[in-house]
Amino acid sequence: MEPLFLPCGDTGLTVQFGDGIERDLNRRVLRICAAVDAAGLPGIVETVPTYRSLTIHYDPLLTSQADIIEALEPLLEPTPDDRAATGKCWRIPVCFDGEEFAPDMAHVTEWAKMTPDAVIDIMTSVTHYVYMIGFAPGLPYMGDLPESLAIPRRKDPRPGVPAGGVLIATGLTVIYPVTNATGWHMIGRTPVPLFDVSADDPLLLTPGDTMTLFRINEAEFRTIEERVQAGTFEPERGSTA
């Protein structure tokens, strides 16, 4: 698909590179986003990568959509780097047990015609790829689950899910960094904070990172939670996927 240039009012421009959710497509978006950031183009305020597009916010007194499109054109051709994994890899503990940590597990297992252990085996064997950061600070939208777990969103959204909630819907996974309402299905919870406003870098994850999950029980969850509160816990890094 040829890139589409979509005006977003008089201070924004979106460049859309495709119409699917694919890792190579997303890596192309991230490669071009990094190139724009590094170029120091006049008037650029912010770049926002998504699954398949890049939105560029700019100051219309310093540049224009035509100037930005002209500057982008040399960067748009696909390159071998678009297939390269450049993000960090993380190992994140998750408790999948009980109503407190996995209130939607029974519904998911009924829909998928699986046992809880089978669902957990899939969640802990998949390498989750961070496509983008969503509407809440540090909220990762991650793929890619198999069709067997591509459950539709809830018909009755939950009014609130706690920070650390691990949720799935439509073949994707999210982890809520803060308490929020949701239409996704909560099947686990991690004690690892994804957003810490007091840290030098408040966001743990960035687009292009990967994550593997490993199972812990409630006692282990409480122990890690205490270490997080005491400031003695460091998230575990894994090998690059």
What's the confidence (pLDDT) of residue 198? 84
What's the confidence (pLDDT) of residue 83? 64
What's the confidence (pLDDT) of residue 86? 74
What's the confidence (pLDDT) of residue 77? 79
What's the confidence (pLDDT) of residue 138? 92
- With a CB cutoff of 8 Å and minimum separation 6, the contacts of 64 are none
> Quick one: which of 4, 54, 6 has its CA closest to 33?
54
17-41: per-residue pLDDT in tens? 998 999 999 999 999 999 999 999 9
Q: Contact 220/93 with Cβ under 8 angstroms?
A: yes
> Quick one: which of 53, 213, 51 has its CA closest to 141?
51
DSSP state of 184: S
Q: Give per-10-residue mean pLDDT for the chain (241 aa).
A: 92 94 93 92 95 97 96 84 77 96 98 98 97 92 96 93 97 96 97 91 94 97 96 84 48
The residue behind tokens 């090998």 is 239
CA–CA separation, 174 and 170 (whole Å): 11
What's the confidence (pLDDT) of residue 79? 74
